[in-house]
Amino acid sequence: ESFIGPVGRFVIFEPSLNVGNRIPAKTLFKFTQVPVWEKIDKRFETFPASVRDKKLSNLDSTPKLSAVVSNDSIYDLNNLPVIAILYDKDGNALAASRTFLDQLPKNSTAPVFFTWPEPFKDQIFSTDIFPEINPFSFKF
């Protein structure tokens, strides 16, 4: 179960997906029921969190991605999932990771770090980091 937020791109992160000895080639999503669309609080029309200063390092040993997440809102954010995706030259996701910020007070910043235990087989060309605010469970 997941949600599609009100602003731009979104991520569905499913950790530890067992695919056996196979290498996944693609992923398909399908609604298994008629979706229920709900209007959200107008305060979510502009996304209150942003990411800056992304830095990918240690690619030859234990890759690490670091960044700074900013809470640009007037609300404290608690237990905030932050998801990183690393892409190849064709825009295919090669790796992903998730961490949580226990607290990100209003008008503040916090560092985030993502690590992988071994080098990637393919070259990383770009990265995305998504702070994930669920408008349906957020309490003002």
Q: What is the pLDDT along the chain (140 residues), one digit of tens a residue?
A: 777 766 677 788 877 778 888 877 777 888 888 988 887 777 776 667 899 999 999 999 999 999 999 998 888 999 999 999 999 999 989 999 999 999 999 999 999 999 999 999 999 999 999 998 877 777 76
3-state secondary structure of 42: helix
**Residue 70, pLDDT score:** 96
- The whole-angstrom separation of Cα 117 and Cα 99 is 15
Rounded to two decimals, the pTM is 0.84
**Residue 51, pLDDT score:** 95
Q: Cβ contacts of residue 65 below 8 Å, gap of 6+?
A: 54, 55, 56, 57, 84, 86, 97, 113, 114, 115, 127, 129
**Residue 134, pLDDT score:** 77
3-state secondary structure of 44: helix
Please say whether the beta carbons of 77 and 133 come within 8 A.
Answer: yes
Rounded to the nearest angstrom, the gap between the alpha carbon of residue 120 and the centroid of all alpha carbons in its chain is 19
3-state secondary structure of 43: helix
- Strand pairing class (77-87; 64-71): unpaired
- The whole-angstrom separation of Cα 37 and Cα 87 is 31
**96 residue type, one letter:** A
**Residue 67, pLDDT score:** 98
